[in-house]
Amino acid sequence: MSVAAGTERIPPCSGRALELEAGDTLVIIDPEGEQVSDLTAFAREDLAEYLSSGRSIDYASKLWLTTGDVLYSNRSRPMFTIVEDTCGRHDFTLTPCSKEMFERLYGERKGRPGCEGNLAGALAPWGIGRDRIPVAFNVFMHVAFDPDSGAVSVLPPRSRPGDFIRLRAEMPLVVALTACSAGQSNNFRYKPIDFRIERRDGGIDRR
């Protein structure tokens, strides 16, 4: 497929970090379909302020956030607005896949770093380590809950090739995102994730 100007690729099972200004837009694209991207963010003016699953779900009064919904920080300030979403199903409840999760749930003898390790690795230049990685906004992740028992199911993503979500930054942010490493979350095929930054002044990021 042709790749739009300024689009960058995150290779399978890896992560990236980037900085956004208020008003910039981050477009996260699933180029092949059925691939999750974990996203987290911190306020650049005080890195103790982070993207909060609990606040966002509470204020939206629903689990599944899509176009028009706002993602809040732990300090109840808007960090992102979802301005466009061609997939419509994402998860904001489960922690990023991790070394220990691969050992417990997948029986790997020596678990891979997973999204948790990849997010922390990408955020190391900002001094943010593994213990500070919160529940991520799991873009394209398809999690279902039994309404009676609350049993959790991780299902293949609903995203098709080329599906994307467009997020407007509402404050200066450092953002990290991954191409997720968990088999169950990605229908057991590890694929890349593409992203593009559209600067508020109309520029396309080429770093």
Residues in the site for Zn ion, rule: CB under 5 A?
97, 115, 180, 182
Residue 202 beta carbon to Zn ion: minimum distance, rounded to whole angstroms? 33
Report helix, strand and coil shares of the chain as percent, to nearest 5. Answer: 15, 35, 50
Smaller CB distance to Zn ion: residue 82 or 97? 97
The H-or-E segment that residue 60 falls in is helix 53-60
For residues 136 and 114, give the distance between their C-alpha atoms in angstroms, rounded to a whole number: 13
Smaller CB distance to Zn ion: residue 168 or 195? 195
Residue 138 beta carbon to Zn ion: minimum distance, rounded to whole angstroms? 8
Task: Give the position of tokens 């999204």.
Answer: 115
Rounded to whole angstroms, the maximal C-alpha distance in the chain is: 49
Residue 115 beta carbon to Zn ion: minimum distance, rounded to whole angstroms? 3
Strand partners, 9: 194
Smaller CB distance to Zn ion: residue 66 or 184? 184
For residues 83 and 23, give the distance between their C-alpha atoms in angstroms, rounded to a whole number: 12
Residue 96 beta carbon to Zn ion: minimum distance, rounded to whole angstroms? 5
Smaller CB distance to Zn ion: residue 26 or 36? 36
Task: Give the position of tokens 């404050």.
Answer: 171
